[in-house]
């Protein structure tokens, strides 16, 4: 497993100089570093990771403020950015959704049509959250179902974007 952004280690006059340290690097990277330690003035290791995760997803909406309000009221998110045309809402676990002003008509949406299918929302207590959302008027597309330790149900946000409530017994 590899983490963080960039590690460059040089040896100059017997001293190792580290530029942008990482918290963890993989074993192959450590072996390469150890094998090259005795070459003065050389680049001992240059290690750059690629993607560390998804920072946010974005939704274009005809009314970003209204949609952001729905995420706040229905799902407990918080608005953390508001430029007037674009808002970012943040879930309690740190996941974020950017909601920006839409231009043009919405294309047809369907579970198997090309494009983003849904945003999955993880919960600790599926039954309680499903009951709360149903009582709050959320529009569900199907009934909850469970298979192989995973409970799921699909529903829509205020603009009709598909959301997926999910609880896994065991993380992937």
The reply to whether 155 and 87 lie within a common domain is yes
Q: Would you say residue 1 lies in a domain?
A: no
pLDDT score for 45:
53
The reply to whether 62 and 16 lie within a common domain is no
Q: What is the pLDDT of the chain when averaged over all its residues?
A: 82
The reply to whether 123 and 159 lie within a common domain is yes
Our count of domains for the chain comes to 2
The reply to whether 69 and 14 lie within a common domain is no
The reply to whether 44 and 96 lie within a common domain is no
DSSP 10-26: EEETTEEEEES--S---
Give the pLDDT band (50/70/90) at residue 33. very low
Whole-structure pTM value = 0.70
> For the ranges 11-25, 71-85, 157-171, which has the lowest average pLDDT?
11-25
What is the C-alpha to C-alpha distance for residues 68 and 87, in angstroms, rounded to an integer?
7
Q: Would you say residue 107 lies in a domain?
A: yes
Q: Would you say residue 129 lies in a domain?
A: yes
The reply to whether 99 and 23 lie within a common domain is no
Give the pLDDT band (50/70/90) at residue 5. very low
For residue 16, pLDDT over 60 is answered with no
The reply to whether 63 and 37 lie within a common domain is no
The reply to whether 100 and 64 lie within a common domain is yes
Q: Which of 38 and 142 is assigned the larger pLDDT?
A: 142
Range of the domain at 80: 56-168
For residue 58, pLDDT over 80 is answered with yes
pLDDT score for 83:
97
The reply to whether 137 and 105 lie within a common domain is yes
Q: Name the residue with tokens 């609880």.
A: 167
What CATH number does residue 134 fall under? 3.10.180.10
Q: Which of 91 and 29 is assigned the larger pLDDT?
A: 91
Q: Would you say residue 136 lies in a domain?
A: yes
Over residues 97-142, the pLDDT tens digits come to: 999 999 988 888 888 888 888 999 999 999 999 999 999 999 999 9
The reply to whether 36 and 74 lie within a common domain is no
Query: Mean of the pLDDT values across residues 57-76?
Result: 97
> What's the CA angle centered on 141, arms 137 and 146, to 5 degrees?
105
Distances from the Cα of 49 to the Cα of 4, 5, 25, 27, angstroms: 7, 5, 9, 14
């Amino acid at each position: 497993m590899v983490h963080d952004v960039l590690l460059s280690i040089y040896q100059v006059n017997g001293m190792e100089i580290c530029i942008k340290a990482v918290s963890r690097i993989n074993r192959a990277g450590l072996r390469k570093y150890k094998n090259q330690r005795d070459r003065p003035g050389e680049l001992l290791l240059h290690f750059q990771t690629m993607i560390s995760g998804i920072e946010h997803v974005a939704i274009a909406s005809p009314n970003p403020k209204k949609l952001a309000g729905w995420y706040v009221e229905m799902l407990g998110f918080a608005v953390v950015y508001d430029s007037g045309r674009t808002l970012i809402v943040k879930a309690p676990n740190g996941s974020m959704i950017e909601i920006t002003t839409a231009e043009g008509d919405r294309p047809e949406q369907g579970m198997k049509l090309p494009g983003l299918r849904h945003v999955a929302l993880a919960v600790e207590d599926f039954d309680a959250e499903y009951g709360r959302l149903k009582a709050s008027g959320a529009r569900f597309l199907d009934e909850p179902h469970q298979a192989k330790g995973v409970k799921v149900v699909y529903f829509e946000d205020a603009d009709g974007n598909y959301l997926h409530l999910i609880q896994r017994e065991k993380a992937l």
